[in-house]
Chain A
Amino acid sequence: MASKKRIDVSTPKGLLDAFEREEAGMRSVRSVTYDVSKKHSCDAELRHILNHVRAQIENIRRERPDEATEWRAVQCYVESLQHETAMWIAISKNNASLAWSYFCEAEREALQAVRHLPNYGPADRQLIHIREVERVVFPPQRLFLSSSLIVAPEDVTCSVCGTVYGECDHLAGDIYGGVLAMKVTNGLDAVREVSFVENPSSKHCRILEVAGADPLTGVPPKRVTRAARRQRKKR
């Protein structure tokens, strides 16, 4: 973001309007430019804005919970942008695994932003963009992993009030007074299975290494020797 002065960070709407004005320029800095230093400065600026948003939420969440909720929705959008920037930086450093982790976070936050910022075009476009990035940048991953866990209901608590989830009125995924409600699992009774799924709720759960032939294609994995790995690092 080249023009710091034009950003109004005093209200959630002001910040969202500024992001909308700068949308195309920011996207090109994040994804198109080869200049890594520009990506780093964009990342630093987004982190700075995020710190401001978090501080705003903390300051007003008791007095003005509705405004804090608006700020939390803005945080989802800005976090998506920041994670995407970090993803491009990781790609420029040839760190594919870290890039994928940032991509997952960027997509997750974009989903939240679309949900909590209805009628905000940039949030919709960010989700479309991040899904295009997945399709174009990363190799296709057909199967992800899904763990199936058995938990006692009393071991699942609400992130907003800390009581047993379901006893309170907070629905996971909604924002209450600037806090995103989540189910916090504090204990497990049993691990039932790990299965392959095409559409996971968390894309972090993926296959990192295939030992032996690919069970789906029968193609043996390409062997990477230590020397080759060292050479790749030097490059």
Chain B
Amino acid sequence: MIQSKHQYAGLAMRELRVGNSNEEFGLEVNRRAVPEVPPGETIVISDFPSVEDRLNELGISEVPYVAVLPRNFETASDAKALILESSASELRILGRRAGVDVETFAQFGAREIQENDIFTIVGIVWISSQALKNAAPVIKLLQSIVDFAKSRSRTRENSEVELELVQEFVVGNGRESKRLTYKGPASKLVDIIPTLQASLRRDEDHGGVLPLNSGQ
């Protein structure tokens, strides 16, 4: 491992590390278990581990209402190893515009990954059961995320978008999280809004009981 402090291509390289593996950086960024989206389909719903428990493991005591979860959220060893998609900052701005405070974990040492591929990974948006009590700003935020992703990929050929929504539901005395994965063209991303709205309505009908079944 080389650790040096010098200028390269006009950028101040702080602790430039060149290693053979991601483990050397402490960045287990490839170990994210993204559910396979079957061909011809764009939306898949699956289970997601408890965000609260995972945050406790990472040493983060505050559970946010709405957050952008880092790409290695399920595998990172500590908060400083968390890696955010580069769109996390944009989601924070969109959240502020929609009246929702979006946590990005930057204050806990999470860093950002910048890649040169037109495949747009919007990120994993976590919506707590508390935030769902006042769903209007959350829906507004999701609508602006859809518009943002569409405007960014409108002029790109073969451009695909990946967005994951992790929704927390009250189940009896506890809580359970479900992951809604969208992978497909940005033009069809708007399909995610009715799916989410339907799940919210069903949540109300069931008096807070988990409405979505795994693999539905």
Complex interface: stretch among A12-20, A195-203, A214-222: A195-203
Chain B residue nearest in CB terms to A107 = B155
A152 and B93 contact, CB distance less than 8 A: no
A interface SS class: mixed
Residue B41 lies at the interface, judged by CB distance under 8 Å to chain A? no
A188 and B154 contact, CB distance less than 8 A: no
| Residues of B within 8 A of A (CB-CB), count | 44
Q: Mark B1-34, 1 if CB is under 8 A from A, else 0.
A: 0000000000111111110001001010100000
> What are the residues of chain B within 8 A of A166 when measuring CB–CB?
88-90, 92-93, 104, 106
**Range class of the A interface residue count:** 35 or more
B13 and A151 contact, CB distance less than 8 A: no
Complex interface: stretch among B114-122, B131-139, B194-202, B203-211: B114-122
A147, A188, A202 pick with most chain B CB within 10 angstroms: A188
A165 and B89 contact, CB distance less than 8 A: yes
Q: Which of B22, B111, B117, B157 contacts A152 (CB 8 A)?
A: B111
B interface SS class: mixed
A114 to B93 Cα, complex, angstroms: 24
Chain A residue nearest in CB terms to B159 = A199
Chain B residue nearest in CB terms to A158 = B89
B14 and A187 contact, CB distance less than 8 A: yes
Smallest Cβ distance from A137 to chain B, in angstroms?
17
A192 to B93 Cα, complex, angstroms: 27
A187 to B112 Cα, complex, angstroms: 12
A156 and B29 contact, CB distance less than 8 A: no
Residue B56 lies at the interface, judged by CB distance under 8 Å to chain A? no
A190 and B15 contact, CB distance less than 8 A: yes
Q: Mark B76-101, 1 if CB is under 8 A from A, else 0.
A: 00000001101011101110110000
> What are the residues of chain A within 8 A of B154 when measuring CB–CB?
114-115
A17 to B114 Cα, complex, angstroms: 39
**Further pairs besides A150-B113, A189-B14, A192-B113: 13, Cβ < 8 Å:** A146-B117, A147-B114, A150-B27, A150-B83, A150-B114, A151-B112, A152-B112, A153-B110, A153-B112, A166-B93, A169-B96, A187-B14, A199-B118
Residue B214 lies at the interface, judged by CB distance under 8 Å to chain A? no
Residue B151 lies at the interface, judged by CB distance under 8 Å to chain A? yes
A198 to B86 Cα, complex, angstroms: 20
A152, A188, A190 pick with most chain B CB within 10 angstroms: A190
A98 to B88 Cα, complex, angstroms: 35
B29 and A187 contact, CB distance less than 8 A: no
Residue B61 lies at the interface, judged by CB distance under 8 Å to chain A? no
Q: Which of A127, A145, A168 contacts B116 (CB 8 A)?
A: A145
A190 to B11 Cα, complex, angstroms: 12
Q: Mark A149-177, 1 if CB is under 8 A from B, else 0.
A: 11111101000000001101111110000
A197 to B160 Cα, complex, angstroms: 13
A114 to B157 Cα, complex, angstroms: 14
